[in-house]
């Protein structure tokens, strides 16, 4: 019933646009005029074709033409007319969602008999850009020192990185939506991308940081839109190999890991290794990491069927190491240095594209990735026992079947059927049986035997020291985690050039998700063996048979006039978690109810349980309770208006204003965490538990900006923005249970934030010699809590609640990015520089220095960590060997080997000095933290061969 009703509702919304609709997020359009080169008069009926495709148009009475639905890339336009020589305009760049305008001139055959070839110059100022965005083409990716998509994102104005998260204009990292070829590939469980995307397979990367059009949804901060490469009309390919090493200066890091040779280093407050380089244990190893990738593209059937394929292998032994001072059984190890964040990755991309007719194209694009490595455990705690950490395995697969049908020169529609699968697993061993005799951390002995006589009797032993300031002396991480997300989506989009100035888009999408999660830590059975916790306990989490439904529809109009451009749209979103919440919040645990009315059957129907009814024979069964204990969560929906206006003020100047409402369902980890509401019976606060009835998170965004060109190559872009965010997920206030002293927490919509800032960017496009991009961002990102779980301590009464707006964890007030490319025939060099002021941290106070005994409340994120700066370098030399183009290249990341702090001690604000709780009994090297710094200098040398 729910499915039928929501589909009907969405169909009504979709039908509001009486026009056909278009493929969103993957195409742009071409427009322009064709004139007589001698007289300047418009030529009526001239033919303009996009070479290598079946797309084209004829000029109207004013000599104007428009070609819609062109995939991003560089094209050649061919213009012809009877009595005129053909003109070819090469290098015309088409971008997603934008209009590329060109001017074509035809020369009379009486003057010119041969074909005229002209090279296009890209538009410097985009007059139809109504909100802030950044675009990186395949050519730019090839010439920059970037290896992963994240390297590209980190160089964009308004983008900050905190840990592994990407934050766009001050939002939480889970508020970014990822699209590939117009299809959303965001894992709704945690907001991550479902599959690895490789730079080599990208035709254009679009980052929308401002207000985006109605065709985009379920993202409160920004859009990352990838358009993959299309099959070529001729065979071409590339093979690339490189390997490299870390190149670190300084010394003492190996001693700090092992806790050895302490007398060789000066002391500061009983701390040795004060002057060591924390990464100096990394020696030169030319195969520290290895990369190999290959791509091939071309026709299978000429003008009918083509393919693109890409495969990559990458291995890195990691830059965080431990020392095997102890084995997992607690006995002394060999003190060998062991990598603790090594990983290995396989990824692939493939596209088949069939031109069934001149009007119908069918394509199938798949991406797959598999990454394995060390992780899931605290590398710091296990630093002297590195063999005890967990490993992880991430698998991802997406597939998108797309049908594009061109109805006329002014309309086409696209149908997509897509799916993705993502699986993540972390565990020390694959099977439970392999954990045998690994209960060391649950039954930590006072000592372990290290020597035996000829009869096998123990002769020597060492103490197993524990406590603050000490690493683990043995054991295996007993945590086990597995999660799967499956998605099935159906999407229809349709574009219609309704009038000469109006491009109308409308579309409908239905998404079905399926979530599975199992998370627990092995426990000890009565017989001393390891076992899985009971399914009915809080120690065992199981999420299964969870199938949320999302339906969305939009209507978008892009009106392009000579004096202004308007993007106006309306979006409808519907979401049903298909989850359940407790019918009686005071007694939420159906597995162990506390109210007598829920434990025994009310035989006489009076609403009370009498003594006669309170007998074992009259107890309710779990099956009975599940029939009434929970009620369905309510579906959520929202209508979101979007408006953007661009107004040219000069021939090279455009101002824009945009405004919009944005809607995003919280990620499923907060809707379905700790299912079952298994609240205990002992006094205390339980949870937090998921809440399938969470409201959507809402953002209102405004921005105003200016693009101003100077000469032929320079562009200044200045934008101011403001974001008001409401209904962020947080941990709610305790809910009282039936028993005295028992309460529990659930996730609720309580947090809020606001972000304001300004970005300024100056760029010079390549003119045959060099190009550069420089941008500066001032941004203030403040809110009630950075993470939903930040409020747990306050809600449990163990900490003071947040009483004021605080800087968010990723609040970086000033950022500066610069990139430079210098090149000529067959050679080139580029560099990227980044500078950012420090992220906030919460200072720590020494309880021993408080004579009253009650510390004052310390404001969260009141102080700042040190600023960070880095430079990356890329240089290449390319040769032309008759159809084969080998390229030798050198890449250096963190060229200056800067020690940029990612973590600090709360008492000093420094990553290498602390005086708080330091004792003489602490393990040597305990306060030397390589994990408090970004990755050190990395150098790689490689060869790529294109053909």
Any domain includes 125 = no
Number of folded domains that form the chain: 3
Task: For residue 884, give every residue at least 6 positions away whose Cβ sits within 8 Å of its Cβ, in sequence order, or none.
Answer: 945, 946, 947
Same domain, 603 and 491: no
pLDDT at 538: 79
pLDDT at 23: 39
Please report, for residues 16, 107, 113, 383, 846, the alpha-carbon distance to residue 39 in angstroms, rounded to integers and kept in the order given: 46, 10, 18, 79, 84
- Name the pLDDT band for 820 (thresholds 50, 70, 90): very high
Closest residue by Cα to residue 553 from 15, 81, 14: 14
Please report, for residues 273, 765, 844, 922, the alpha-carbon distance to residue 917 in angstroms, rounded to integers and kept in the order given: 17, 55, 11, 10
pLDDT at 15: 37
- Name the pLDDT band for 854 (thresholds 50, 70, 90): very low
Any domain includes 154 = no
Any domain includes 147 = no
Q: Tokens 């055959």 sit at which residue?
A: 109
Task: For residue 152, give every residue at least 6 positions away whose Cβ sits within 8 Å of its Cβ, in sequence order, or none.
Answer: 136, 141, 144, 146, 199, 205
pLDDT at 711: 87
- Quote the pTM value: 0.88
Closest residue by Cα to residue 20 from 509, 570, 494, 360: 494
pLDDT at 694: 95
pLDDT at 122: 76
pLDDT at 26: 80
Same domain, 770 and 900: yes
pLDDT at 527: 82
> Would you state the structure tokens that stand for residue 833, as one six-digit string?
């520089």
Same domain, 438 and 474: yes
Any domain includes 543 = yes
- Name the pLDDT band for 918 (thresholds 50, 70, 90): confident
Same domain, 425 and 556: yes
> What's the gap between Cα 538 and its chain centre?
30
Select from 609, 626, 643 the last residue of a domain.
626
Element (H, E) at 450: strand 447-452
Instruction: Give the pLDDT mean for 536-551.
Output: 89
117-147 core/surface letters (b: 16 or more CB in 10 A; e: else): ebebeebbbbbbbbbbbbbbbbebbbbbbbb
Choice among 85-99, 480-494, 794-808, 844-858 with the minimum mean pLDDT: 844-858
- Name the pLDDT band for 772 (thresholds 50, 70, 90): very high
pLDDT at 11: 40
Any domain includes 145 = no
Instruction: Give the pLDDT mean for 549-557.
Output: 95
Q: 354-365 pLDDT, tens per residue?
A: 999 888 999 999
Same domain, 601 and 589: no
Select from 93, 119, 145 the last residue of a domain.
119
Same domain, 459 and 578: yes
φ, ψ of residue 276 to 5 degrees: the values are: -80, 160
Any domain includes 151 = no
- Name the pLDDT band for 857 (thresholds 50, 70, 90): low
Same domain, 800 and 682: yes
Are the CB atoms for 752 and 785 separated by under 8 Å?
A: no
List % helix, strand, coil for the chain (3-state, nearest 5).
Answer: 10, 50, 45
Instruction: Give the pLDDT mean for 11-25.
Output: 38
- Name the pLDDT band for 5 (thresholds 50, 70, 90): very low
Choice among 218-222, 267-271, 393-397, 410-414 with the minimum mean pLDDT: 267-271
More confident residue, 420 or 164: 420
Instruction: Give the pLDDT mean for 98-123.
Output: 84
Same domain, 563 and 621: no
pLDDT at 244: 95
Same domain, 616 and 570: no
Closest residue by Cα to residue 202 from 240, 149, 239: 149
CATH of the domain at 15: 2.60.40.1120
Select from 94, 119, 144 the last residue of a domain.
119
pLDDT at 182: 84
Evaluate if residue 882 carries a pLDDT over 90: no
Are the CB atoms for 80 and 72 separated by under 8 Å?
A: no
pLDDT at 19: 31
Average pLDDT value for the chain: 89
Q: 452-462 pLDDT, tens per residue?
A: 877 878 788 88
Are the CB atoms for 30 and 92 separated by under 8 Å?
A: yes
Same domain, 282 and 404: yes
Q: 235-288 pLDDT, tens per residue?
A: 999 999 999 999 998 889 999 999 998 888 887 777 788 889 999 999 999 999
pLDDT at 8: 41
Full residue range of the structural domain in which residue 604 is found: 596-626
Instruction: Give the pLDDT mean for 204-230.
Output: 89
Any domain includes 851 = yes
CATH of the domain at 746: 2.40.170.20
d(CA 795, CA 745): 8
- Name the pLDDT band for 319 (thresholds 50, 70, 90): very high
Q: 676-722 pLDDT, tens per residue?
A: 899 988 888 998 999 999 999 999 999 999 999 998 899 999 999 99
Same domain, 73 and 51: yes
In this structure, the chain runs to a length of 947
- Name the pLDDT band for 22 (thresholds 50, 70, 90): very low
Closest residue by Cα to residue 193 from 213, 219, 169: 219
Any domain includes 833 = yes
pLDDT at 7: 40
Same domain, 585 and 602: no
Please report, for residues 413, 514, 548, 636, 898, the alpha-carbon distance to residue 577 in angstroms, rounded to integers and kept in the order given: 30, 11, 4, 9, 46
């Amino acid at each position: 019933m729910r499915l039928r009703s929501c589909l009907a509702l969405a169909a009504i919304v979709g039908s509001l646009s009486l026009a056909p609709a278009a493929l969103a997020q993957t195409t742009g359009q071409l427009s322009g005029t064709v004139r007589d080169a001698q007289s300047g008069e418009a030529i009526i009926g001239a033919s303009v074709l996009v070479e290598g495709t079946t797309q084209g148009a004829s000029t109207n009475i004013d000599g104007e033409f428009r070609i819609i639905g062109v995939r991003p890339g560089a094209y050649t336009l061919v213009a012809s007319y009877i009595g005129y020589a053909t003109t070819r305009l090469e290098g015309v760049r088409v971008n997603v969602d934008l209009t590329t305008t060109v001017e074509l001139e035809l020369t009379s055959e009486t003057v010119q008999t041969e074909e005229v070839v002209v090279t296009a110059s890209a538009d410097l100022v985009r007059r139809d850009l109504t909100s802030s965005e950044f675009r990186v083409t395949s050519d730019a990716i090839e010439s920059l020192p970037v290896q992963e998509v994240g390297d590209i994102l980190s160089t964009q104005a308004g983008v900050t990185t905190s840990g592994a998260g990407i934050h766009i204009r001050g939002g939480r990292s889970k508020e970014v939506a990822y699209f590939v070829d117009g299809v959303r590939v965001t894992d709704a469980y945690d907001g991550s991308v479902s599959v690895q995307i490789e730079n080599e397979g990208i035709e254009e990367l679009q980052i929308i940081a401002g207000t985006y059009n109605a065709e985009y949804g379920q993202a409160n901060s920004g859009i990352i839109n990838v358009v993959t490469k299309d099959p070529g009309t001729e065979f071409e390919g590339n093979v690339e190999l490189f390997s490299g090493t870390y190149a670190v200066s300084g010394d003492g890091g190996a001693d700090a890991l092992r806790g050895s040779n302490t007398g060789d280093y000066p002391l500061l407050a009983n701390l040795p290794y004060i002057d060591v380089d924390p990464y100096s244990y990394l020696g030169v190893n030319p195969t520290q990491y290895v990369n190999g990738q290959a791509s091939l593209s071309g026709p299978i059937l000429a003008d009918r069927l083509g393919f693109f394929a890409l495969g990559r292998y990458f291995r890195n032994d990691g830059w965080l190491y431990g020392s095997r001072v102890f084995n997992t059984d607690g006995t002394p190890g060999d003190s060998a240095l062991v990598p603790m964040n090594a990983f290995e990755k396989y990824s692939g991309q493939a596209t088949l594209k069939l031109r069934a007719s001149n009007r119908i194209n069918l394509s199938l694009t798949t991406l797959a990735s598999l990454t394995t490595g060390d992780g899931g455990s605290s590398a710091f705690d296990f630093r002297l026992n590195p063999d005890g950490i967990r490993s992880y395995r991430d698998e991802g697969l997406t597939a998108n079947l797309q049908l594009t049908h061109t109805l006329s020169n002014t309309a086409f529609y696209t149908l997509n059927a897509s799916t993705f699968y993502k699986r993540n697993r972390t565990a020390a061993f694959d099977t439970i049986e392999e954990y045998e005799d690994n209960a060391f951390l649950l039954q930590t002995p006072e000592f372990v035997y290290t020597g035996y006589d000829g009869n096998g009797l123990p002769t020597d032993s060492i103490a197993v020291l524990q406590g603050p300031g000490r690493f683990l002396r043995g054991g295996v991480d007993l945590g086990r985690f597995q999660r799967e997300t499956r998605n099935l989506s159906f999407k229809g989009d349709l574009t219609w050039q309704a009038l000469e100035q109006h491009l109308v888009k409308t579309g409908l999408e239905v998404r079905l998700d399926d979530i599975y999660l199992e998370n627990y830590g092995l426990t000890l059975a009565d017989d001393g063996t390891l076992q899985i916790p009971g399914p009915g306990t809080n120690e065992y989490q199981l999420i299964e048979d969870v199938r949320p439904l999302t339906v969305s529809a939009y209507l978008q109009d892009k009106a392009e006039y000579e004096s202004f451009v308007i993007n106006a749209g309306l979006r409808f979103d519907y979401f049903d978690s298909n989850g359940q919440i407790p019918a009686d919040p005071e007694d939420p645990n159906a597995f162990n109810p506390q109210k007598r009315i829920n434990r025994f059957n009310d035989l006489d129907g009076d609403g009370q349980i009498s003594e006669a009814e309170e007998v074992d024979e009259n107890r309710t069964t779990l099956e009975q309770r599940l029939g009434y204990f929970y009620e369905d969560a309510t579906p959520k929906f929202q209508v979101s208006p979007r408006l953007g206006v661009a107004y040219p003020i000069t021939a090279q100047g455009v101002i824009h204003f945009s405004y919009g409402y944005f809607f995003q369902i919280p990620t499923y980890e907060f809707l379905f965490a700790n299912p079952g509401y298994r609240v205990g019976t002992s006094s205390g606060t339980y949870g937090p538990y998921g809440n399938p009835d969470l409201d959507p998170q809402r953002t209102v965004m405004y921005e105003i900006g200016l693009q101003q060109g100077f000469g032929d190559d320079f562009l200044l872009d200045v934008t101011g923005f403001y974001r008001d965010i409401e209904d962020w997920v947080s941990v709610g206030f305790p809910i009282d249970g039936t028993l005295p002293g028992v309460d529990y927490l659930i996730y609720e919509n309580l947090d809020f934030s606001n972000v304001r800032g300004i970005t300024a960017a100056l760029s010079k496009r390549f003119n045959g010699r060099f190009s550069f991009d420089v941008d500066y961002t001032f941004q203030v990102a403040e809110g009630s809590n950075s993470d939903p779980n930040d409020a747990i301590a306050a809600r449990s009464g163990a900490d003071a609640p947040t009483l004021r707006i605080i800087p968010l964890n990723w609040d970086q007030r000033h950022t500066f990015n610069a990139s430079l490319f210098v090149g000529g025939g067959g050679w080139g060099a580029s560099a990227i520089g980044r500078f950012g002021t420090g992220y906030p941290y919460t200072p720590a106070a020494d309880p021993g220095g408080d004579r009253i005994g009650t510390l004052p409340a310390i404001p969260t994120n009141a102080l700042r960590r040190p600023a960070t700066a880095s430079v990356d370098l890329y240089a290449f030399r390319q040769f032309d060997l008759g159809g084969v183009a080998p390229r030798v290249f050198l890449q250096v990341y963190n060229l200056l080997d800067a020690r940029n702090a990612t973590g600090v001690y709360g008492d000093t604000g420094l990553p290498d000095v602390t005086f708080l709780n330091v004792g003489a009994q602490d393990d040597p090297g305990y306060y030397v933290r390589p994990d408090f710094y970004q990755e050190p200098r990395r150098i790689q040398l490689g060869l790529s061969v294109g053909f």
